[in-house]
């Protein structure tokens, strides 16, 4: 009897050890895979939403999720190191500084942990398996085109004063947005239809560290003081995202001498931006459905874990419309295979279409469109 009990104990012990070694298992005894997700910030609305959507989409498919919101690059390096040490099965990273992760990701490469660069491209590394984002150049092109269509200089024959406000130079997206917008505006600037009184027409001159709303506000105040204090009219500000657009509008309200409100562009459909559009302030935002972006990232992660080849043959299996691009996103070491979702323009005319996504609704007073909480 004693011998049988001892044998049973040994069998149980072996079983427990085996399960522990394999990590958690589902109800069929299959080991549960762990995904490590690293987002740049919890306090910025869009990244907090991305984090929620990624978590719920992975959990719905039976994954265990380890989620970090880094806030700064040193903490992000730490976060990634911890997840690599934990042997996660796949890493999804939206970087704080795309060029600062090469060394950290060498360990992921050594451990063969696949890495998906989420929304922002991670630079100077061959550890990245693929990139899931929106068509970033198109985001900028939509902003530039919105300004052209609103001012329609070809039809009026007039000249217009515009300014440019771009994003964080540490974020590879920021240049894509700027270039997309600038390529549309450039012919009008060259023909003299659009004048940029500050003379700041290069990305380096208009980039805004950390996408900061405060810096965008102060920079706009300085521009107004230096180039518009004679009462010159400002017709449009091509601004790369909503937070900076709202910062620019604050500066216009406090320091601009003119009477008509310039066209100010944005991106992200942040709650405050939607409110601003409905109040007749921000002219437009570029909406990027990040629920779809998260779902595409989940499908691509599964494809990688199943050993599938990442190419356009995957497009039919993805849960949202994407293009496959293997040339545009060069991170300095490799051209990263990219799945790019489709951005769209939202302004006062079509803002209610957001409700059809199921992610937005009318607030309790029926006045504003707000994200479904
Ligand atoms: C994202 C934008 C966002 C910006 C600031 C970019 O990488 O693509 O959607 O507005 O970061 O958070």
**Predicted local confidence at residue 219, as pLDDT:** 98
95 lines ligand 1 (CB under 6 A): no
Pocket of ligand 1 contains residue 173 by CB under 6 Å:
yes
Question: Which pLDDT score, from 0 to 100, does residue 19 have?
Answer: 45
* Cα gap 148→283, rounded to integer Å: 13
What global pTM score does this model have? 0.92
DSSP, collapsed to helix, strand or coil, labels residue 34 as strand
Strand 322-325 to strand 338-341: parallel, antiparallel, or no bridges (unpaired)?
A: antiparallel
d(CA 176, ligand 1 centre) in Å: 11
Separation between Cα atoms, residue 186 and residue 201, nearest integer Å:
9
For residue 324, the surrounding DSSP H or E stretch is strand 322-325
> Burial code of 233-267, b = ≥16 C-beta within 10 A, e = fewer?
ebbbbbbbbbbbbbbbbbbbeebbeeeebbbbbbb
Report, as ranges of residue numbers, the positions in the chain whose pLDDT lies below 70: 1-23
Q: What is the pLDDT of residue 16?
A: 47
Q: Is the CB of 235 under 6 A from ligand 1?
A: no
Q: What's residue 44's pLDDT? A: 93
Instruction: Say which residues have a Cβ less than 8 Å from residue 284's Cβ, sequence separation at least 6.
Output: 143, 146, 265, 266, 277, 345, 346, 347
Is residue 119 lining ligand 1, measured as CB closer than 6 Å?
A: yes
In eight-state DSSP terms, residue 111 is T
């Amino acid at each position: 009897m004693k011998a049988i009990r001892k044998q049973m104990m040994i069998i149980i012990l072996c079983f427990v050890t085996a399960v522990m070694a394999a990590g958690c298992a589902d109800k069929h005894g299959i080991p549960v895979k762990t995904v490590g997700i690293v987002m740049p910030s919890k306090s910025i609305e869009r990244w907090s939403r991305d984090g929620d959507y990624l978590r719920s989409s992975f959990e719905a498919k039976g994954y265990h999720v380890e989620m970090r919101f880094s806030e700064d690059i040193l903490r992000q390096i730490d976060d990634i190191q911890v997840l690599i040490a934990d042997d996660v099965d796949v890493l999804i990273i939206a970087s704080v500084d795309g060029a600062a992760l090469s060394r950290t990701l060498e360990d992921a490469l050594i451990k063969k942990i696949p890495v998906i660069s989420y929304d922002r491209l991670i630079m100077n590394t061959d550890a990245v398996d693929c990139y899931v984002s929106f068509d970033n150049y198109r985001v900028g092109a939509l902003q530039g085109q919105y300004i052209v269509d609103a001012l329609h200089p070809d039809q009026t024959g007039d000249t217009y004063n515009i300014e440019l406000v771009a994003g964080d130079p540490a974020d590879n997206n920021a240049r894509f947005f700027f270039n997309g917008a600038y390529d549309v505006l450039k012919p009008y600037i060259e023909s003299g239809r659009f004048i940029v009184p500050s003379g700041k027409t290069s990305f380096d001159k208009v980039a805004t560290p950390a996408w900061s709303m405060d810096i965008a506000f102060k920079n706009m105040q300085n521009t107004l003081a230096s180039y518009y204090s004679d009462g010159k009219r400002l017709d449009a500000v091509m601004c790369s995202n909503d937070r900076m657009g709202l910062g620019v509008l604050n500066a216009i309200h406090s320091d601009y001498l003119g009477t008509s409100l310039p066209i100010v562009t944005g991106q992200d459909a942040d709650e405050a931006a939607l409110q601003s559009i409905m109040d007749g302030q921000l002219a437009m935002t570029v909406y990027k459905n990040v629920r779809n972006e998260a779902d595409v990232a989940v499908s691509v992660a599964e494809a990688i874990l199943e050993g599938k080849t990442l190419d356009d043959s995957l497009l039919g299996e993805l849960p949202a419309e994407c293009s496959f691009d293997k040339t545009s996103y060069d991170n300095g070491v490799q051209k990263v295979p990219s799945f790019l979702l489709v951005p769209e323009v939202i302004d006062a005319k079509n803002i209610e279409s957001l409700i059809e996504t199921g992610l937005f609704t009318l607030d309790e007073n029926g006045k504003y469109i707000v994200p479904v909480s």
